Amino acid sequence: MRFFKKKHPYTKQLTITPPEPDPGRAGVAIVTCVKNEARYIAEWIEFHRAVGVVHFYIYDDGCEDDTIPIAREILGSSALTVVPWKGRLIDTPTQNLLNSQAIAFAHSILNFGGQYARMAFIDVDEFLLPKIGNTLDEALEGAKGFPNISLPWHMFGTSGHKARPAGSLLRNYTVRGANPLSTKKNASNFKCIVDPCAVSEVSIHHFSTGAFGENTSNDRGEVFSRKGRKGPAFYSSDFIQLNHYYSKSEQDLREKIERGPASPASRQRYEDRVLSAVRNIESETVVDTAMIEFLDRREILPA
């Protein structure tokens, strides 16, 4: 594994040698890093299990609550791998802090990726909503054959909730930023679903895949450069929509800020970034009920 040297003291892009595919590899696995997500982890797992995720790789960044016991109770050992992932690393010659999430993603590809047709790299406030069919396998047919799919965030704010509402997260939040490719600061980004056996470079929000380099496709299979995916022509949620429940209620938002950053940003810088993102998300909004319509059709996660 080789680390790219950046101009700033924070390395988050890694080069790897792709794993060899296992005979008969199939299905979609999810990789995530967690710390103290007990309140929402069950719904996240139950939803993604319902849409066909076959295995969950949870990198435990020092959880002190019931996140991991809840995951174990729901999934058991056959569909769950928990990897202890506490701590931060610094590259001695450069003094660059190494991004632990990027390293976790690389670790998961190298050690487990050969088993799966696809791996998705998301957080537990992000949900992969099939817009075609009932499962991610069906929805991924739109980009069949291309190894690197970028999905833009559909950013949900508070939906007017001051206190944390009872019931399903996915049913309580229906108001999101109008433009998933917004140019407003902190209001837009991507997460990726990739063929792990084609990945040559790993980061949090983008991957490179062999001869295709940094080129990526949308969920329709239309291929763009990494820079080109930020343009309006790239946008699609015809097959899969990535819902990012960024702030949740105002109560959740306060607690998010109080927890502070997982990255090396200062607490004040983190607070400024989070509040800026919420303002930008809520400056122009639309009502989006695609998730609720899917849940009702599939009869999963009742209110």
Per-position pLDDT tens, the chain of length 303? 444 444 445 678 999 999 999 999 999 999 999 999 999 999 999 999 999 999 999 999 999 999 999 999 999 999 999 999 998 888 888 888 889 999 999 999 999 999 999 999 999 999 999 999 999 999 999 999 899 999 999 999 999 999 999 999 999 999 999 999 999 988 899 999 999 999 999 999 999 999 999 999 999 999 999 999 999 999 999 999 999 999 999 999 999 999 888 766 678 889 999 999 999 999 999 999 999 999 999 999 887
pLDDT at res. 2: 43
pTM (two decimals):
0.94
* Integer-rounded Cα radius of gyration of the chain: 18
pLDDT at 108: 98
Which residues share a beta bridge with 53? 28
* The pLDDT value given to residue 203: 96
Determine the structural domain holding residue 59 and report its residue range: 2-298
Instruction: Please report whether residue 223 resides in a domain.
Output: yes
Per-residue pLDDT at 91: 85
Q: Is 170 inside any structural domain?
A: yes
CA atoms in the 13 A half-sphere facing the CB of 291? 28
Residue 263: its pLDDT value, please? 65
| Cα distance between residue 257 and residue 277, in whole Å | 12
Is residue 100 a part of any domain in this protein?
yes
Is residue 303 assigned to a domain? no
Residue 176 lies in a domain: yes
Establish if 138 belongs to a structural domain: yes
Give how many domains the chain has, as a whole number.
Answer: 1
The two three-digit tokens of residue 54, written as one number: 């076959």
Cα 80 to Cα 87: distance, rounded to the nearest angstrom: 22
pLDDT in the model for residue 1: 42
